[in-house]
Amino acid sequence: MRTKSFAGALAIIACAAFAVPSSAYDGLPAAVRAWLTERPEIVFVGQASYPPFEFLDERTGEYTGMSVELIRWIATEYGFSAVFKPMPFEAAQSAVLQGEADALTGLFKSDARSLRFDFSTPVFSVPASIYTRNDGSNIRSAADLNGKRIAAQRGDYAIEHLASAGITLEWVFADDFGEAIDLVATGAADAIIGDEQTVRYYLRSRELEDRIHSSSGPLYAGADCMAVAKGDAFLLAVLDAGIERAKSTGTLETIYRKWTGSSLSEPTEREPLSRGAKMAILVASIAAIFSFATTFRTRSIVDSATRTLKNELEGLKTKNDGLTAANARLRLDLEERSRLEEDKRRIDAEAAARRVEELTRCAIAKALDTTASSE
């Protein structure tokens, strides 16, 4: 289901970066458009229970949500059929890596995941906070999670984030956020690191807002992207073009407002902050003041690093231009070699034919001489 040719990947990367699109309407390079016409069906896997982004509606049985609506719109715009296979989050990631599906409807981008996946342009920003029971819990920051039982869906980015922070805790795993929230509500877990839009959806729909609340500010904001297996540059180019078109036409804004009631550019809804959270904000503000002073003193270092990075990027572009030119020369050389080999085969065939004809004439003459002598 995915492109595995290294040469093909190089070609599409060069086209996506420098080629003129085949159509001002669809924004796709000619090579990508040609690839897409041969693949009328693209299989997407997503979470079965990740509202409002992607989920199976319990009432209608329909697979729906913001990400699903966006992909269906892109499929209509670019003339392919989007097939959806909802499943648990960890299984969805494995399906793409094993070639059983083409793309993930949504996955937070991270350095570790980038070793296995290529990510589209970010679609949504998803803050994640700590949620606990309303029973006087003292969990108000990531440091307070040490030694606690934390609920999480298998394969969630929160696991990677807290591991990198060096926090020691006990994970209580679930297949999705709905199950993880139930673990907190029943006391089987002390807290959950929850994606804000999704946790709020569950708390409202299950009438748990008086039992579970956000006890911290956001620990991070996940960049929710579509994702493909590493090296699937053709499909990634289609998804990026579709996301950009959805943004430029206002379609993405319309979808987001429909499902959340707010704009993509507006901050997401927040609960009133607890006393502990307010204290954490005060400490963070003081730290920010000292950080600003340090940043001011090191600005020249940052500027120098920026110039160095810019020069390196320009060097990479120059090398890429050289690679594109070299590929073009190689193609011409191969075509010329093929033509010369064809000419050689034709000349050899003609020489062989003439040789056969000459040998035939000699044989006939000899036979005639032998007949005349015998007479």
- Domain locations in the chain as residue ranges: 6-123+223-269, 126-221, 298-375
Distance between CA atoms of 375 and 372, rounded to whole angstroms? 5
Say what the alpha-carbon torsion angle 246, 249, 251, 253 is, to the nearest 10 degrees. 100
pLDDT at residue 284 in the model: 42
6-123+223-269: CATH class: alpha beta
User: Where are the extended beta strands (E) located within 59-203?
Assistant: 63-64, 81-87, 103-108, 117-119, 124-133, 149-153, 170-174, 191-195
pLDDT at residue 305 in the model: 64
Place of tokens 């966006």: 70
What tokens were used for 100? 């059983």
pLDDT at residue 352 in the model: 80
Q: Which residues of the chain register pLDDT less than 50?
A: 2-25, 268-284, 287-289, 291-292
pLDDT tens digits, one per residue of 276-293: 444 444 444 554 445 445
pLDDT at residue 10 in the model: 43
Burial class from Cβ neighbours inside 10 Å (0-12, 13-18, 19+) for residue 186 reads exposed
Cβ–Cβ contacts within 10 Å for residue 301, how many?
9
Same fold, 6-123+223-269 and 126-221: yes
What is 126-221's CATH number, 3.20.20.10, 3.40.50.2300, 3.40.190.10, 3.40.640.10?
3.40.190.10
Whether the CB-CB separation of 44 and 103 falls below 8 Å is answered with yes
pLDDT at residue 78 in the model: 96
